[in-house]
Structure 1
Amino acid sequence: MLSAFKPSRIAAVAAASVAMLAGCAPDSVRNIEAKGFNAYLDSLKTTCPNMVVGSSNISNWLRTNGGNGDDNYVYWLDQTSRLYYRRISPAQYRDSVSAALGGKSDSRALDCIVQHLPADRPTHPPGGKLL
């Protein structure tokens, strides 16, 4: 029965599985080649010091490259990626992040993040279309 599974078929199934899983990941996690987005995040370390929304310390996340298994960090990073790549508006960003992190929609941290968006930012990550 195992002889029916040829190596080429197994490789094709494995490749399809990896492609499907990559499509489910948030933009910010899926695309390690997002140099513009990464540079934007790096710039926030100095332009927006002491960012806190609710009980989440965004500045600390940026200094330590995120939280270990912190769902709030993953959500914030994905929403910030969506904002950067123009998939959501600044108002949608403020509403979604403040609701998820328990902060006010007029948070100084969110204002700073939005104010420092590059004007010439792209509409999708490098290397392909957004799903």
Structure 2
Amino acid sequence: MLTASKPLRAAGAAAASIALLAACAPDAVRNRQATDFNAYLDSLKTACPNMIVGTNNISEWLRTSGSRGDDDYVYWLDQTSRLYYQRITAQQYRDSVSAALGGRSDSSALDCIVRHLPANRPTGLPGGRL
């Protein structure tokens, strides 16, 4: 009986770990239903060429889909998702991204990102995520 419970305990621990990791992932990374957000990111490629914040080339991230191993990219993507879904204000976005990436909150890259937000963007994440 003890040997049968070990695999169940291991499976339960694995499931809990996966759920915990998914909860910590940025909205844009964990939510594959975010087609409108992805379209917004795609539109920035042409609307805002040569975006640089600090030493980070956001335009290059958009061209190459970034790297999930790059903490700056993951942070920028998460904050941009929060901005897009109206979970933070434009000023909060500017302040947090510029502080994290070492840029200025009034950078032309951040101006362009905010300026090109769709007027009627959603207030909640697709799939009912908070």
Same fold (TM over 0.5): yes
Aligned to 2:124: 124
Aligned to 1:2: 3
Structure 1 residues 104 and 129: alpha-carbon distance in aligned structure 2, compared to 1, 3 A threshold: same
Aligned to 1:24: 24
| Percent identity over paired residues | 71
Aligned pairs for 1:26-105 (under 5 A) are 26-67=26-67, 69-105=69-105
Report the CA distance between 1:67 and its aligned residue: 3.2
- Structure 2 Cα separation of the partners of residues 53 and 113 of structure 1: 11
Aligned-residue CA RMSD in angstroms? Answer: 1.7
Report the residue type matching 1:40 in the other structure.
Y
1:48-93: CA deviations, max 9, x gaps? 1110011110000000100362111111001000000111000000
Which protein is richer in helix relative to its size?
A: 2
Q: Which 5+ residue runs of structure 2 have no aligned equivalent?
A: none
TM-score, with structure 2 as normaliser = 0.89
TM-score, with structure 1 as normaliser = 0.89
Report the residue type matching 2:79 in the other structure.
Q
Q: Which 5+ residue runs of structure 1 have no aligned equivalent?
A: none
